[in-house]
């Protein structure tokens, strides 16, 4: 069912044409109307780019154009790259749509350019429709790039829509042709991926002299930085559905004459959704002019008055200035930011990370936004969440620091005063921090006297750290470490009430190996562990979240970079678009460590390097203070099928350009990078049955500088 806010009103009774209808070309009609209609669902770059809906939206628009619009099929150029067999699409409707079934072409870059820059300019018409549904990205000049079906890694073939529209306003299209051009785009308008592997390049189609009087009407499904909503289950873009409901059964002349009215109605419908906190997508008029070149926004009759949140008063801002003075972003900053929207009944804005780098600026961003139906200022639940975490201690995670009861009390007092002063509704408490299971910390150190072997200690980590095993006076080899580890896991997971069935190891969730640099690529995750019957074993990394860490290499020289990067990662909850960087062989130089440490981002590196470059990559990670990294033991780009490691996650709410292994699948409780240990374990489980075929051997570096053990010297 169509959402009530987007449901089209009953068709109006026929009446006189709008006054500006006489300004349209008198010859305007179906036979002098031409169109490019494109729907792109599949992309060669990766299956992760595929989405269901755009091909069906394109057919819906073509059905209106060739049906009530009565435009001949010969005037329509249809480009389709559907997910399903084209024969399974709904081709029912007017005869013109059946004709297009035999003439459509794949939505490749070459076909798009041929249609738009070669074929259609040669036609003699009054009106050009351009309808495009699929992915959309903005380049550095804020131009909209529409990826085509033949987009590939290293070269994202695309249509530069802004450049094409400039071309269509010049004398390269004959002067008397196409004075009216209507452009409708159901696509995201988010920043293009920063990863160099997803290279869009540049596409400028040039043009001649501008022709006065040519008018373009452009309506995009979203504003810059916003994602367009798509209902994959129903195969429909919300923008297209709302627009077609407005066009209804109008003829092509009535449709283009009433297009500004229809666009305003769609805009109001999405505005009401936004006002109720059910979405932040808002269609945008690029040119706010009617076909008579007058602003139609000025004459728009007033729509419904939407409830707005109470704004923070001067007393509140004065109090925040004192509370936030000298405070860095705490580890829970993004968590508090996202909670503010949830508490007010709103949807968190699309886009990763915080909108600013200071607490006061984050609060200012929240105050500029409209709250939910209750009119709650978003700043108040934000401060409430900060107070809760300061009372509990840091952000509730191990190693997050001691509680700050004084600051917590001051924050809570500010919330109480703001509620009383602004007459705000009661606030529900923030959710408790997610708890983490116990961890087994294994510290391996070379002996001081240069003997062969390792000095080993194991701690059980939970609310308190407890030493559970250490090697005796003589150093031991890795085989002895594995034997001791398996024994400790059995002891920690044993249930006295059980009899038989083998060890369960339920007491431990994570195993972290603190090692010297030379052991970072040791196959700890592949150590066999007894499972079930005595003869069966499973790799350690498929049972537990196994990671390595190397803090001793950082303490002396790069401690500052390491700590500042980790704090930035935590404050952004691992969601900022710059958090993750993919590094390939060409980037592994003597200066890579300096570049990685120049600023807090990136905080996580995916190594797609060959075996020969991996040691230099690891040195650069430690020099640059990067706390989190994933690479493939033995070199090469990770190539698992499930989950994919290379495919960019281009759909909201995940920041564009991040690999699928890091893309959040849930909400604020499932941050991209902080979910990485669990996702690497799932990837290792998926690889466990493929090892005969050389499946990936992932290594996870997870080095939290605020969660360390400082042991007494080994015996």
Q: Return the C-alpha torsion angle 143, 201, 158, 642, nearest 10.
A: -110
Given a cut of 50, whether residue 17 has pLDDT beyond it is no
**pLDDT score, position 230:** 54
**pLDDT score, position 683:** 84
Higher pLDDT, 695 or 385: 385
Given a cut of 50, whether residue 162 has pLDDT beyond it is yes
What is the C-alpha to C-alpha distance for residues 455 and 473, in angstroms, rounded to an integer? 8
What is the C-alpha to C-alpha distance for residues 136 and 190, in angstroms, rounded to an integer? 7
pLDDT digit string, tens, across residues 526-580: 999 888 766 788 899 988 999 999 988 887 778 888 989 998 888 888 878 788 8
Strand, coil or helix: what is 525?
A: helix
Bond from prior residue into 153 cis (ω within 30 degrees of 0): no
pLDDT digit string, tens, across residues 619-632: 999 999 999 999 98
Instruction: Find where tokens 């404050």 sit.
Output: 571
Given a cut of 50, whether residue 639 has pLDDT beyond it is no
CA 350-353-358 angle, to 5 degrees, is 125
- Partnered with residue 215 across adjacent β-strands are 180
**pLDDT score, position 675:** 83
The beta strands (E) that lie in 41-86 are given as: 76-81
Average pLDDT, the chain: 78
Highest mean pLDDT among 313-327, 501-515, 530-544: 313-327
**pLDDT score, position 254:** 84
- Which pLDDT band holds residue 257 (cuts at 50, 70, 90)? confident
What is the C-alpha to C-alpha distance for residues 156 and 669, in angstroms, rounded to an integer? 33
**pLDDT score, position 374:** 59
Strand, coil or helix: what is 311?
A: coil
**pLDDT score, position 670:** 44
Q: How far is CA 599 from CA 126, 257, 603, in A?
A: 54, 53, 9
Among the ranges given (120-134, 406-420, 435-449, 478-492), the one the predictor scored with the smallest mean pLDDT: 435-449
- Token reading at 128: 């050009």
Higher pLDDT, 472 or 679: 679
Q: How far is CA 590 from CA 58, 399, 546, in A?
A: 51, 33, 30
* Among the listed residues 609, 684, 603, the one whose alpha carbon sits nearest the alpha carbon of residue 643: 684
Strand order in the sheet with 158-160: 158-160, 144-147, 137-138, 190-191
Could you count the other beta carbons within 10 Å of the beta carbon of residue 491? 14
Strand, coil or helix: what is 236?
A: strand
Among the ranges given (23-32, 649-658, 697-706), the one the predictor scored with the smallest mean pLDDT: 649-658
Given a cut of 70, whether residue 498 has pLDDT beyond it is no
Higher pLDDT, 393 or 468: 468
- Token reading at 326: 């000298």
CA 105 to chain centre: 31
- Maximum Cα–Cα distance across the chain: 99
Higher pLDDT, 204 or 307: 204
Given a cut of 50, whether residue 10 has pLDDT beyond it is no
Q: Could you tell me what percent of the chain has a pLDDT over 90?
A: 32
pLDDT digit string, tens, across residues 39-60: 999 998 887 788 888 999 999 9
Given a cut of 60, whether residue 199 has pLDDT beyond it is yes
- Which pLDDT band holds residue 228 (cuts at 50, 70, 90)? low
Higher pLDDT, 496 or 41: 41
Given a cut of 80, whether residue 363 has pLDDT beyond it is yes
Q: What is the DSSP letter of 660?
A: G
**pLDDT score, position 625:** 93
Given a cut of 70, whether residue 662 has pLDDT beyond it is no
Go through 656-687 and write b for each residue having 16 or more CB atoms within 10 A of its CB, e for each that does not.
bbbbbbbbbeeebebbbbbbbbebbbbbbebb
**pLDDT score, position 114:** 95
The beta strands (E) that lie in 65-179 are given as: 76-81, 127-133, 137-138, 144-147, 158-160
Among the ranges given (21-25, 79-83, 553-557), the one the predictor scored with the smallest mean pLDDT: 21-25
**pLDDT score, position 523:** 93
- Token reading at 623: 């020099």
Instruction: Find where tokens 């006489």 sit.
Output: 22
What sections of 95-206 are H helices per DSSP? Answer: 95-103, 109-114, 161-168
Among the ranges given (340-354, 426-440, 455-469, 538-552), the one the predictor scored with the smallest mean pLDDT: 340-354
Average pLDDT over residues 24-29: 83
- Which pLDDT band holds residue 401 (cuts at 50, 70, 90)? low
Strand, coil or helix: what is 180?
A: strand
Given a cut of 50, whether residue 110 has pLDDT beyond it is yes
Given a cut of 80, whether residue 297 has pLDDT beyond it is no
What is the C-alpha to C-alpha distance for residues 352 and 448, in angstroms, rounded to an integer? 46
What is the C-alpha to C-alpha distance for residues 662 and 698, in angstroms, rounded to an integer? 14
**pLDDT score, position 480:** 92
Given a cut of 90, whether residue 158 has pLDDT beyond it is yes
- Which pLDDT band holds residue 252 (cuts at 50, 70, 90)? confident
| φ/ψ (deg, to 5) at 218 | -120, 130
* Among the listed residues 616, 610, 659, 617, the one whose alpha carbon sits nearest the alpha carbon of residue 636: 610
Q: Could you tell me what percent of the chain has a pLDDT over 70?
A: 75
- Token reading at 351: 């886009």
The 3-state secondary structure of 534-599, one letter per residue: CCCEEEHHHHCEEEEECHHHCCCCCHHHHHHHHHHHHHCCCCCCCCEEEEEHHHCCCCHHHHHCCC
* Among the listed residues 582, 567, 565, the one whose alpha carbon sits nearest the alpha carbon of residue 660: 582
């Amino acid at each position: 069912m169509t959402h009530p806010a987007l449901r089209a009103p009953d068709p109006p009774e026929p009446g006189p044409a709008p006054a500006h209808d006489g300004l349209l070309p008198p010859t305007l009609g179906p036979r002098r109307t031409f169109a490019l209609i494109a729907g792109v669902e599949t992309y060669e770059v990766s299956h992760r780019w595929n989405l269901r809906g755009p091909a069906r939206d394109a057919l819906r628009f073509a059905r209106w154009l060739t049906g009530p619009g009565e435009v001949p099929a010969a005037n329509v150029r249809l480009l389709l790259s559907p997910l399903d067999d084209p024969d399974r699409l709904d081709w029912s409707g007017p005869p013109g749509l059946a004709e297009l079934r035999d003439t459509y072409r794949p939505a490749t870059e070459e076909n798009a350019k041929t249609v738009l820059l070669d074929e259609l300019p040669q036609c003699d018409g009054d009106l050009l429709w351009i309808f495009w549904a699929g992915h959309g990205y903005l380049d550095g000049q804020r131009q909209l790039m529409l990826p085509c079906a033949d987009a590939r890694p290293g070269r994202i073939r695309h249509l530069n829509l802004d450049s094409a529209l400039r071309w269509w306003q010049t004398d390269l299209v004959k002067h008397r042709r196409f004075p009216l051009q209507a452009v409708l785009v159901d696509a995201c308008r988010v920043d293009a991926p920063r990863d160099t592997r997803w290279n869009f390049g540049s596409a400028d189609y040039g043009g001649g002299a501008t022709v006065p009087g040519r008018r373009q009407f452009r309506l995009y499904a979203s504003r810059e930085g916003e994602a367009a909503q798509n209902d994959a289950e129903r195969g429909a873009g919300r923008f297209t559905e709302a627009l077609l409901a407005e066009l209804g059964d109008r003829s092509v002349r009535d449709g283009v004459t009433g297009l500004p009215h229809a666009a305003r109605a769609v805009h109001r419908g999405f505005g009401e959704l936004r006002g109720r906190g059910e979405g932040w997508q808002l269609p945008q008029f690029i040119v706010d002019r009617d076909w008579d070149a007058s602003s139609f926004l000025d004459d728009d009759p007033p729509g419904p008055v939407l409830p707005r949140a109470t704004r923070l008063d001067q007393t509140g801002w004065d109090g925040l200035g004192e509370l936030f003075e000298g405070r860095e972003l705490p580890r829970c900053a993004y968590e508090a930011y996202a909670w503010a929207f949830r508490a007010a009944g709103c949807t968190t804005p699309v886009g990763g990370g915080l909108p600013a780098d200071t607490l006061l600026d984050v609060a200012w961003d929240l105050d500029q936004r409209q709250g939910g139906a209750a009119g709650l200022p978003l700043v108040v639940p934000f401060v409430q969440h900060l107070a809760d975490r300061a009372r509990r201690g840091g952000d509730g995670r191990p190693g997050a620091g001691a509680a700050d009861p004084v600051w917590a009390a001051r924050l809570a007092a500010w919330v109480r005063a703001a509620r009383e002063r602004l007459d705000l509704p009661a606030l529900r408490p923030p959710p408790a921090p997610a708890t983490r299971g116990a961890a087994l910390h294994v510290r391996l150190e070379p002996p001081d006297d240069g003997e062969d072997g390792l000095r080993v200690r194991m701690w059980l980590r939970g609310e308190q750290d407890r030493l559970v095993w250490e090697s005796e006076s003589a150093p031991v080899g890795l085989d002895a470490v594995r034997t001791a580890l398996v024994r400790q896991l059995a002891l920690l997971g044993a249930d006295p009430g059980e009899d038989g069935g083998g060890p369960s190891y339920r007491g431990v969730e994570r195993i972290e190996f603190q090692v010297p640099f030379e052991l970072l690529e040791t196959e700890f995750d592949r150590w066999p562990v007894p499972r079930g019957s005595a003869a069966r074993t499973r790799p350690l990394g498929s049972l537990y979240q196994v990671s390595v860490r190397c803090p001793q290499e950082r303490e002396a020289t790069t401690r500052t970079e390491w700590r500042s990067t980790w704090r930035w990662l935590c404050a952004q909850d691992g969601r900022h678009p710059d958090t993750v960087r993919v590094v390939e062989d060409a980037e592994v130089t003597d200066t890579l460590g300096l570049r990685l440490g120049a600023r807090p981002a990136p905080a996580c590196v995916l190594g797609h390097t060959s075996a020969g470059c991996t040691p230099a990559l690891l040195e650069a990670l430690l020099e640059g203070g990067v706390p989190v990294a994933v690479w493939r033991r033995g070199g090469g780009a990770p190539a698992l099928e499930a989950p994919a490691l290379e495919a960019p996650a281009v759909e909201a709410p995940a920041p564009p350009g991040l690999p699928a292994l890091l893309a959040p699948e849930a909400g604020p409780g499932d941050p991209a990078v902080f979910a990485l240990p669990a996702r690497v374990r799932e990837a290792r489980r998926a690889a466990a049955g493929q090892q005969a075929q050389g499946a990936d051997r992932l290594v996870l570096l997870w080095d939290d500088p605020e969660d360390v053990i400082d042991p007494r010297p080994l015996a």
